[in-house]
Amino acid sequence: MSPSRVESEVPVAVVTGGSRGIGAECARVLHADGMRVVIADVLEGKGQALADELGAGAVFNHLDVADESSWKKLVRGVISTLGAVDILVNNAGVANMSSVEDFTIAKWNAVLSVNLTGAFLGCRAVVPGMKQRGSGSIVNISSVDGMRGSPGVHAYTASKWGVRGLTKSLAVELGPHGIRVNSVHPGYVPTRMTSRMDPDRLDIPLGRGGTATEVAATVAFLASEASSFTTGAEFVVDGGMIAGIPRR
């Protein structure tokens, strides 16, 4: 049975890669803002633990973002139980590193399938319902590497530029339907993915790395009506990392 109209007025946000890192903090912040949150991930133990931590209004759903059928199952289930997907945060991402000569097609496809194809499949899956309601907000997590080049992380860089471009084309196409699409570009944030990076070598003007909470605050703004006239835009959360020529 579908939720009542009163229940469905509480926004429902799906956060991919929501079990840990930036995704988990997005789930926490959106939940604290009063939204119902679906933590979508392949990491079932961590995802369920976070849902239990957040309590009422938070659920975990298994999702492989690179699998079309997995997206269909997730969206059907969320609409059936919660009534709608009002906000989609495409956060799930992976990275690998190699010189271009040694960058195998397997490495390339492993990153593109999650970071770019996964974001595309997510957008495509939620758009019909958003069109029907005449509203929605999609927040695609790109990176500062979606605005510059970085040696060795070729697939990651290409995928994050692709997410940036996908955001633009969707914003133009979906704007007339009341659906907003924006991208967020984090700089260095200490997470499992960035554990091998040395922040002292990054020359960040603000003098420190960011926090997942700072990124999540930007996501929460874009998910809310406070950003109602904002679409197709890039929000850089990097402490000034790419604002100018490095001093070192």
Amino acid at 231: T
- Give CA–CA dist 82/173, Å, rounded: 27
Cβ within 8 Å of residue 89, ≥6 positions away: 13, 14, 15, 16, 18, 23, 26, 30, 139, 141, 219, 223
Question: Does 156 qualify as catalytic in the annotation?
Answer: yes
User: Do 121 and 46 meet the contact criterion of CB atoms below 8 Å apart?
Assistant: no
Phi, psi dihedrals of residue 215, rounded to the nearest 5°? -70, -45
**Catalytic residue from among 156, 161, 188, 235:** 156
Other Cβ atoms closer than 10 A to 5:
8
Q: How many residues does the chain have?
A: 248
Bridge partners, 183 (sequence order): 140, 234
Catalytic site residues? 156
